[in-house]
Structure 1
């Protein structure tokens, strides 16, 4: 089989808009795709390794993808591919173990690539504190690079979007300069839509409720942790407006992904490219009494889009079989005929390639290994926590079929949903169906005991500037 190029474009879950509608019409859409975790770091680790959190070990309790696992870009690189990543999310960076296998790793939050993030200082410090901190950090590493990045973070990047525009500009330059004799694997993580939702005004106007101005919408509090802790109140109308902003961000990103396709066409790469659009997680916007993408394993966070265009995935329409993000890696390897036996040995997913001799999934499994943010981090942010917040201080696992979904907590909690008739997961029917609960628990236990679990020595540390940038994005540490 001829080799092909692989831009794996990561977006978050939401409404499908113009470009993706066109892509679905020409490719294949997998409408029942689920992540293996509800937030960026463990979900991406599963995409890169084909394994679940318990096996790959990257989660809130250990925030690093360790070297015990081969990554998908390593498999491509070993087979002659140029491997390139462009990330807009601090979690998806070399510092957290995601650089392995990539010959080029572009961090879009920096104008000039550096380990020092002075843009964070420009965004988070005020007054004399800003000047003092900037002066101290300016001379760490390359002072000129640090100054350029600080200016870029303060005055340029966040005045446009969360990085999609700059990302596409960089990819355009890379496609112009690259040696096109080699196939490539390009991974792109776009951050839109992500709290805070701040789409361009011309997109927001298409989705906001009647009579709501852009300025009014941008004044709605977007403090997820304050809302969860009860220090910030949001009405049904507020959530309606926030959902409008969320849909607007999706529409804006749809525009940018369409622009990426146009770049591939411009550089004569589109016809030879397998183009994958998926998301690492979804979002709660008042759903289940939550905001953001933490503390639960409901489908609002796990159900993600997956559209593939090109090669064997042309004109297959819509497929509603269960698929997981752990399945993407073996599927892509099958498409280009890469064997990668060591990598495939660690994979817990299964190929859904049209020519693969695999049975359709009967279940999906997802894990939330530790709360993120922890209760201590949340308390530092919002102050004293109400007693009901204690319910989130737990780990979770779920097993889901097309009919039933069981969520089991480390605190002994059990939730069962008849997702066939209750897709909103609004009624816990565990007490009414003890036999179903018992069967799913036994199946989940069998799965947990069927493989070796990750072991970690010591703890993971991160640079102060990284921690503060994550907190700037809403990830409390």
Structure 2
């Protein structure tokens, strides 16, 4: 048996065609895979952005365990390391600067490739000149930033980077023997939402004078200024980007045989004007933490859909269960295999957390701590010194916080929140160095200015 773990960046649960109440049919290739697998309609990410989410995906621990997420502690065991110990080989490929080997993510892999490394030194010198002479808020700098984003994409494609994640993963699947684990992470549909024209036309994105990159950059900084038509454009560009991701996924799935375990999820979701945001700055609302999750086991699944809440910390134990590999003692999650094979599983409360600011993403900041505890029916969010309560059945968009939630269910949820707050110990930021190339890639993705 081989195993493919496919993660898709910034993919909302609402934009998975196989999910209940999906917005449009934007993922036909994944919907076809779902016909052979199990869809978990209440899957939760433990963090609202890549650096906060992936520690849980790979190590079945919470983001702020073991010193936090700036760099993965050796006390955390990656699923790739557990598989390596069991005699498996592993290949990983991504293009996200948060997932570099320097942060600990490459452990346990025979092949670990970052296909997003692509420098444009000439343009970088020009950007530095603008920084030296204009402020970040200057119209001159903003215009140049949009131009940089516009030209960088085509140049990366000329360098072979656009579909490199898929090609590397395909080759790993096609040339490997059994007992091989392949993980690939797609950046689409992450901002700046620049899908090919064919996908924009398929979605019916209205034409505008501004480029997609220009619009998205402005939406990330000033979403409140957007007209309803401009919001429609942004939502359309995002949907078209999801279609682009699914198109790439289709090429990868062509290399997957019936005896391969396939698990597909998003690292986190994406805000599209909910709660005053476009993107995924630190917040713990469902548009950022409710994610798609699909498991296609060898030979197909017994269960088509599971409505019981599951979590990202359940992914690594599920992989190890199917691989018949030993589960590390540090793992917090449980295997989802029984649910896939038709057995019931217990509801588990999901914890999502982050302790970073929007201006310093990925850096630990104790004063910025946010913790959410969730069931499919209700949710508590601790942030800014207060606790917000939401009834997710009556208020799924989390617009009307309950000021005084009363009842045993709320008391139980509050106990989980209090227990988690009592166990979090946020130390000083490790200050992991980011070279200029990594910084520039984070700028292009809209994380920093």
What is aligned with 2:41? Answer: 31
- Deviation of 1:466 (Å): 1.7
CA contact (8 A) 2:219 2:226 kept: no
In 2 relative to 1, CA 93–81 (structure 1 residues): closer, same or farther, beyond 3 Å?
Answer: same
What is aligned with 1:133? Answer: none
Larger Rg: 1
* Alignment TM-score, normalising by the size of structure 1: 0.78
- Within 1, Cα distance between the matches of 2:447 and 2:127? 24
In 2 relative to 1, CA 21–251 (structure 1 residues): closer, same or farther, beyond 3 Å?
Answer: same
Does residue 441 (structure 1) correspond to residue 414 (structure 2)? The answer is yes
- Deviation of 1:399 (Å): 0.8
- Deviation of 1:456 (Å): 6.2
CA deviation map 1:107-155 (0-9, x unaligned): 1124xxxxxx6x153554328969xxxxxxxxxxxxxxxxxxxxx9676
- Within 2, Cα distance between the matches of 1:154 and 1:105? 23
CA contact (8 A) 1:25 1:315 kept: no
Does residue 279 (structure 1) correspond to residue 266 (structure 2)? The answer is yes
Match runs of 1:213-292 below 5 Å? 213=207, 218=212, 220-227=215-222, 233-264=225-256, 270-292=257-279
- Within 1, Cα distance between the matches of 2:265 and 2:430? 33
In 2 relative to 1, CA 403–444 (structure 1 residues): closer, same or farther, beyond 3 Å?
Answer: same
- Within 2, Cα distance between the matches of 1:189 and 1:359? 28
Farther off after superposition, 308-317 or 435-444: 435-444
CA contact (8 A) 2:179 2:323 kept: no
Match of 2:163 among 159, 165, 177: 165
CA deviation map 1:205-241 (0-9, x unaligned): 11135xx22765625343355226x7xx222221111
- Runs in 1 of length 4+ with deviation above 6 angstroms? 355-358
Count of residue pairs the alignment pairs up: 410
Give the CA RMSD over aligned residues: 3.0
What is aligned with 1:306? Answer: 293
What is aligned with 2:315? Answer: 328
Does residue 468 (structure 1) correspond to residue 440 (structure 2)? The answer is yes
CA contact (8 A) 1:80 1:182 kept: no
Match runs of 1:136-147 below 5 Å? none
- Within 1, Cα distance between the matches of 2:72 and 2:127? 37
Gaps of 5+ in 1: 111-116, 131-151, 265-269, 378-391
- Within 2, Cα distance between the matches of 1:175 and 1:82? 11
What is aligned with 2:335? Answer: 351
CA contact (8 A) 1:13 1:304 kept: yes
In 2 relative to 1, CA 447–351 (structure 1 residues): closer, same or farther, beyond 3 Å?
Answer: farther
- Within 2, Cα distance between the matches of 1:397 and 1:252? 33
Gaps of 5+ in 2: 18-26, 131-150
- Within 2, Cα distance between the matches of 1:56 and 1:164? 35
* Alignment TM-score, normalising by the size of structure 2: 0.83
In 2 relative to 1, CA 463–331 (structure 1 residues): closer, same or farther, beyond 3 Å?
Answer: same
Farther off after superposition, 302-311 or 191-200: 302-311
CA contact (8 A) 2:80 2:109 kept: yes
Does residue 9 (structure 1) correspond to residue 3 (structure 2)? The answer is no
In 2 relative to 1, CA 215–255 (structure 1 residues): closer, same or farther, beyond 3 Å?
Answer: farther
In 2 relative to 1, CA 18–245 (structure 1 residues): closer, same or farther, beyond 3 Å?
Answer: same
